[in-house]
Amino acid sequence: MSSEIKIISYIVFIVCLFLVQNLTVYLLILLALSILLLQIPLKSLKRGWIPISLFLLFTFVSNVLFQHGKILYSAGPVIITDEGLHISSIRTMRVFFMIAGAKLLVATTQIELLVGAFGKLLKPLERLGIPVVEFFSTMGLTMKSLPRLKDQVAEMYREKINEGNITGFWSRVRIVSMLLLPLFVKSVQSPESFFEKGEQ
């Protein structure tokens, strides 16, 4: 399946999520997505799970409270109703499905291919004077240079740590900030130098 079709399928999937309100359908989608997510390496799935979990918890709690309907639980100002539970479940699963779909998309397609596919899909906007091709070309170069930038920062950081007796969190943060600024300037002035080093 091409990257463009994957992106279009994901967009159609999101639109369908907002049209469906049936909890049974959502449970079937959850089952299907869980099976698909099991195909992804665990390392990729674990990435970012703490902020995602907190965001899903916030979505659930903020929607379950203060809704009209049959009261299921009441403790002071906290009132949980059947309607609130239904709404919060659907909205939380909707957000989870969007995140899980994005993870599937990124895990099964290289970032460079996704960037290129977005560029092709949005190319008609060039007629309106929006520099789509230029923007996505720059984004593609940025995505390619990020791993090399990361490797250079890690290597220079290790050298600095080995050179001096660096202890404490803020000392390490200071070293990283001192390394990032010159590398950032270099990447803006001559981004091709990162690719030349990678090819040697």
Average pLDDT of the residues in 105-131: 79
Residue 36 belongs to what domain range? 3-109
Question: In whole numbers, what is the pLDDT of the chain averaged over residues?
Answer: 77
Domain contains 116: no
Tell me how crowded residue 174 is: count the other CB atoms within 10 A of its CB: 12
Domain contains 50: yes
- Domain closes at, from 109, 140, 161: 109
Predicted structure pTM score:
0.64
pLDDT band (50, 70, 90) for residue 15: very high
Q: Is the pLDDT of residue 200 over 50?
A: no
pLDDT number for residue 36: 85
pLDDT number for residue 12: 92
Average pLDDT of the residues in 94-113: 85
**Same domain? 52 vs 128:** no
Q: Is the pLDDT of residue 197 over 60?
A: no
- Domain closes at, from 109, 136, 156: 109
Q: Is the pLDDT of residue 199 over 50?
A: no
**Same domain? 92 vs 177:** no
- Domain closes at, from 59, 76, 109: 109
Domain contains 57: yes
Domain contains 150: yes
Question: What are the backbone dihedrals phi and psi of residue 145, each rounded to the nearest 5 degrees, phi first?
Answer: -85, -20
pLDDT band (50, 70, 90) for residue 163: confident
Q: 41-88 pLDDT, tens per residue?
A: 777 777 778 888 888 899 888 888 877 878 777 777 777 888 888 888
